[in-house]
Copies of this chain bind each other. A is one copy, B any other.
Amino acid sequence: MKIRITDGRSVPAVAGESIYETLKKNGVYLVASCGGKGVCGKCRVKILEGRSRVEAAGKLRKKDREENMVLACQAFPEENVLIEIPEDSKLVIGDKIAVAKSKDLLEFLHSVEAVFTPPVKCTALNLEPPTIHDNIGDLERVRKALDAQGIHGMNFSHDFVISMPKALRDAGWKVNLAYTDNMEAFALSPAECKNEYGIAVDIGTTTVVLYLINCIDGSLVDAGMTYNSQMRHGDDVITRIVHATEGGGILDLQRAVVDDINDMLAPLLEKNSVSRDQVVAAVIAGNTTMAQLFWGLDPASIREEPYVPTINVFPVWRAGTAKIRINPQAPVYTMPSVGSYVGGDIVAGVLASKMHRNSEIALFMDIGTNGEIAVGNNEWLITAACSMGPCFEGSGIRHGMRATEGAIESVRIDPMTLEPSFGVIGDSKPLGICGSGMIDAISELFFSGIIDQKGKFASDLKTDRIRIEDEGPEFVLYRGEIKDIVLSEADIENVIRAKAALYAGVSVLLKEVGLSLDIVERVYIAGGFGNYLNIEKAIMIGMLPDLPKEKFSFIGNSSIAGAYLSLLSQKMREEAEEIARKMTYMELSVSRGFMDEYMSALFLPHTNLDLFPTVRQAYNKLG
């Protein structure tokens, strides 16, 4: 049984497995922000030929159903099928951005260390074959050669020793010994130490990004992205922790994300002719809950006061322990975390921003499913997490999507006609709206008087762009042949709550260290926004502090960037641990000031306009 795709590809189908799962296992990723449980309604595919059992129609519109459109996660082929994947159902990673970014990272690394120092080292052992007059044990022969090179204190696992005698003989006693940072003998190979790859993985609450990296020249070989399948068990870390603490849930969640990584990796390895065993190191970056779940550790204590994680600075364990399908002996370095709600993704981000190396005071904001912020410089660092929800990643927004091709990324609304115009990533037909588009749209809706300070639609406007549906009023951004793209009052409320949490977090953090905004010389914006965010508009809605535009830098997915750096450099791993140790964590949920700040920020742009002089100015201009 097969699933054929209209682009010419074909994948083997398995009875009882959904089209979504089958495609995913074969490296064809669909948008599915609910993780494939039939809720988000985004993994639409059209069945052109063949019979499928369809379990649920989810959010499919009548028109979709009439056109034989199904949710791929709810459709189970019963014979060979031919499908068409609409553009807005395809999940794509910004490959070009990643590769461009990798050049900057490599340049930086070369400035820090002369050679790459991944967590696996390699040394050539030219052993003399044993003779009757020199018949010490194989392991003693290896130990002696290491001693002669000044390498002492090596540990040899049982697995290593089991395979050693044959490896030595097969290679004619001229071998390369790979070993880890913490002196664990790893593998013997006859080849020169020239074919080593590593992976850097960013385990986000919503998405998982994987880089395949050549550890010798540092180049980015390939990249992949998929949704985190743990979403089946909840959208945010709290619901996942609840699932984990209920019987057996930990293993479910661990398996889900490990499968995501393995499913993404297998086609990448095949495509690039890299064998599983050649991948000899991994770095994992994720928030504290994601990191603990990756290793199968119970996250229960993260959720309960006093919010204690099991580990901040992880030991280096083996790929085999986590069942990651690379070389099972490969060391897996986990980016260290600060506390329960500021994890290794943020430490990686701060590392990639380099703010910990400079004397100027910087503000770091990672806008993802959660919003984490850090302030500081090369002398001090303070950090906090503000619960924003995943709306800027497209979740919880009717037509929300990630910042990939087809996303409305910028919006203008003519204040006279109230007619919108917009820019779409890739200049293609719009498929949805991404975070920057939402910010633009809300700013324009507000400044054109369509919504008020609370985000509610005005009732007396002369425009057919506003319509009232069952779920409430909505603004039609785009009238499509297949579907319209709208922004509803509920969507706008979600965005306002998110931006309020972020802004309140920044305010409280700065107050805690007794600093005012003026002292901040640089603002790093990390997260799915990439380079698309319109700073002025984000300031207009009161999401970002009112600072000069030139102080802002976009650093994209800084979690994967920090993981990339850490994979290639021991110095970076040391600096990451230093960051994790040095950063002071502030628990906002027990901060008296936070709730006040949050309530004040639930307006556009804020209840206190003194904080937003440029917004006041713009507003006054309108009259």
Contact = CB atoms under 8 A, between A and B. Distances in A.
A308 B590 contact: no
Contacts of A135: 306-308, 339-340, 585, 587
Interface in A131-152: 131-140
A165 B301 contact: yes
Interface stretch (A6-14, A292-300, A470-478): A292-300
A140 B301 contact: no
A358 interface: no
Given A298-B165, A306-B131, A311 B140 contact: yes
A135 B584 CA distance: 11
Interface in A97-146: 130-140
Nearest to A587: B132
A229 interface: no
A231 B137 CA distance: 26
Contact of A310 (B134, B137, B339, B587): B137
A286 B166 CA distance: 23
A195 interface: no
Contacts of A482: none
A315 interface: yes
A414 B553 CA distance: 108
Nearest to A153: B182
Interface stretch (A27-35, A45-53, A156-164, A214-222): A156-164
Contacts of A308: 130, 135-138
A428 interface: no
B161 A130 contact: no
A481 interface: no
A129 to B, nearest CB: 9
User: Which of A133, A310, A339, A587 is most buried by chain B, counting CB atoms within 10 A of its CB?
Assistant: A310
A455 interface: no
Contacts of A274: none
Given A295-B158, A298-B165, A137 B312 contact: yes
A588 to B, nearest CB: 12
A41 interface: no
A321 interface: yes
Interface residues of A, number: 45
A315 B130 contact: no
Contacts of A134: 306
A227 to B, nearest CB: 27
A166 to B, nearest CB: 8
A155 B587 contact: no
Nearest to A142: B311
A305 B132 contact: yes
Nearest to A141: B308
A340 to B, nearest CB: 7
Given A158-B317, A162-B297, A132 B306 contact: yes
Contacts of A311: 137-140, 161
A57 to B, nearest CB: 42
A472 to B, nearest CB: 39
B138 A310 contact: yes
A579 to B, nearest CB: 15
A193 interface: no
A309 interface: yes
B155 A315 contact: yes
A132 B315 contact: no
A85 interface: no
A269 interface: no
- Residue in A182, A301, A305 with the greatest tally of chain B CB atoms within 10 Å: A301
A381 B585 CA distance: 62
A5 interface: no
A313 interface: yes
Interface string A160-194: 01101110000000000000001000000000000
Contacts of A321: 158
Nearest to A307: B135
Contacts of A132: 305-307, 587, 590
Nearest to A312: B137
A297 B340 CA distance: 44
A34 to B, nearest CB: 30
Contacts of A312: 136-137, 139-140
Given A132-B590, A315-B156, A590-B132, A161 B307 contact: no
Nearest to A164: B310
A162 B132 CA distance: 47
Contacts of A339: 135-137
Nearest to A132: B306
A298 B162 CA distance: 8
Q: Which 3 A-B pairs have the closest CB atoms?
A: A137-B312, A132-B306, A139-B311
11 contacts: A130-B308, A135-B308, A135-B339, A137-B310, A138-B309, A139-B313, A140-B312, A155-B315, A158-B315, A158-B317, A165-B297
Given A135-B307, A136-B312, A137-B310, 6 more contacts: A132-B306, A132-B590, A137-B308, A138-B309, A138-B310, A166-B298
